[in-house]
Amino acid sequence: MPSRLLVDVGQTGTRLRIESDAAETIDDDTVGVRPGSHPESYLAQVAHETLSRHQVRVDTVAAGLSGLQGAGGDAESVLDRLVGFGVTHVVLADDAVTGYLAALALAPGVVLSVGTGVVALATTGDQALARVNGWGHLLGDDGGGYWIGRAGLHAALCAFDGRGPRTLLLDAAAARIGPAQEIGVTLQLDPDRVRTIAAFAKDVLDLAAGGDRVATEIRAAAAAELARNADAAARRAGDAAGGQIPVSWSGSLLTAQPVLREALQLELARLDSRYLLTPPGGTQLDGARLLTDLPATHPLAALVRRASSDS
Domain boundaries, the chain: 4-100+283-308, 106-280
**Cβ partners under 8 Å of residue 293, min gap 6:** none
Main-chain dihedrals φ then ψ at residue 243, nearest 5 degrees: -105, -150
- The backbone region for 261, taken as left when phi is positive above 0, alpha when psi lies in -120 to 50, beta otherwise, is alpha
CA atoms within a 13 Å half-sphere pointing along the CA-CB vector of 7? 33
CATH code of the domain occupying 106-280: 3.30.420.40
Which class for 34: exposed (0-12), middle (13-18), buried (19 or more C-beta within 10 A)? middle
H/E segment holding residue 8: strand 4-9
Q: What is the pLDDT of residue 19?
A: 85
Q: What is the pLDDT of residue 67?
A: 72
* pLDDT-based confidence at residue 257 (cuts at 50, 70, 90): confident
User: For residue 173, is pLDDT > 80?
Assistant: yes
* Whether the domain at 4-100+283-308 and the domain at 106-280 fall into the same CATH topology: yes
User: For residue 31, is pLDDT > 90?
Assistant: no
CB 132 within 8 Å of CB 276: no
Residue type at 82 in one-letter notation: L
In the chain, what's the furthest Cα-to-Cα distance?
65
Residue 126: closest CA among 230, 236, 271, 231? 236
CA atoms within a 13 Å half-sphere pointing along the CA-CB vector of 291? 37
**Strand 60-65 and strand 89-94: pairing?**
parallel
Highest mean pLDDT pick, 79-83, 261-265, 301-305: 261-265
H/E segment holding residue 101: helix 95-104
User: For residue 136, is pLDDT > 80?
Assistant: yes
pTM: 0.88
Portion of the chain with pLDDT greater than 90, in percent: 56
Highest mean pLDDT pick, 48-52, 91-95, 159-163, 188-192: 159-163
- Helices 145-161 and 213-237 pack at an angle, to 10 degrees, of 150
Highest mean pLDDT pick, 58-72, 185-199, 230-244: 185-199
Per the prediction, the chain carries an average pLDDT of: 89
Q: What is the pLDDT of residue 66?
A: 80
Classify 4-100+283-308 by CATH class. alpha beta
Q: Which residue has the higher pLDDT, 277 or 138?
A: 277
What is the per-residue burial (b if ≥16 Cβ within 10 Å, else e) of 105-144? eeebbbbbbbbbbbbbbbbbeeeebbbbbbebbeebbbbb
List pLDDT tens digits, range 51-85.
Answer: 888 888 888 999 988 877 766 678 898 898 888 88
Strand partners, 146: none
